[in-house]
Amino acid sequence: MKRVLKRIHTYFYRYSVAFFFILVWPILYFLSRGQSRYKYINRFRRFIIVCSATISGIFFNIDYEEPIDWKRTYIICGNHTSNLDVSTISIAAKNNHAFIGKEELLSNMVLGFFFRTIDITVNRDSKISSFRAFKLAADKLKEGISVVIFPEATIPTEYPPKLHSFKKGAFRLAIELKIPILPVTSIDTWKVLWNNGSEYGSKPGICHIFVHKPIETANLTPDDADALRDRIHNIINQKLV
């Protein structure tokens, strides 16, 4: 019975997201054609997230290690255990930002819109696609748009999930452009909804998120990419222990 209720909750949450997306879609479509699309589309993304999560009994508790200067541009790196991780970072990040995600998300009615307008898709099996994605990410960073990357590259298959090793691309990019890294730890989103909810369902609950202080890269060289990657991995992992 418990599993049935969790599956019902998952469908309710998904349809809630679709409902609020359809509700604001005409506005989103109009805004997507303008020069200020990042600012406004991110705001409406937060609106969809908050409304659909709230009526589903899902809430977000976000703590910051220190006040964040949201006028700066960051590469935001978080662990990845749930589809809710996108929601948590969308709410936690108060500046214009774009996500990097797998190209399969283009087929999703809601996520596909955002990936066609402000976010970046990548085929992780293609080196050419990865190169193009990071080139586009670099262009956005130079324009002052923060980029959100999940450096594990995928959601771990273990349940409960464990933090996997990080890919190096985000950290090389941060060093090349002298962009600070902003680590974000999603502590327990997987307890509310693991992965996409298809296996274990979901339930009402509170997702706890911790935004760490930025890690500067201005004095680093490309040779420091591995050390930076390991440092960010340790920062996030220590919050999960």
Q: The domain spanning residue 231 has which CATH number?
A: 3.40.1130
Rounded to 10 deg, the angle between the 109-117 and 2-31 helix axes is 30
Residue 35 has pLDDT above 80, yes or no: no
Contact 187, 88 (CB under 8 A): no
pTM beyond 0.75:
yes
pLDDT tens-place string over residues 47-73: 999 999 999 999 999 999 999 999 999
The radius of gyration of the chain's CA atoms, rounded to the nearest angstrom, is: 17
Between strands 181-186 and 205-211, the pairing is antiparallel
Question: What are the angstrom distances between the C-alpha of 31 and each of 24, 37, 73, 118?
Answer: 11, 6, 22, 11
Contact 74, 146 (CB under 8 A): yes
Place of tokens 């193009």: 132
Residue 241 has pLDDT above 90, yes or no: no
Q: How many domains does the chain have?
A: 1
pLDDT tens-place string over residues 86-112: 999 999 999 999 999 999 999 999 999
210: which 2 tokens? 């911790």
- Domain limits for position 107: 2-240
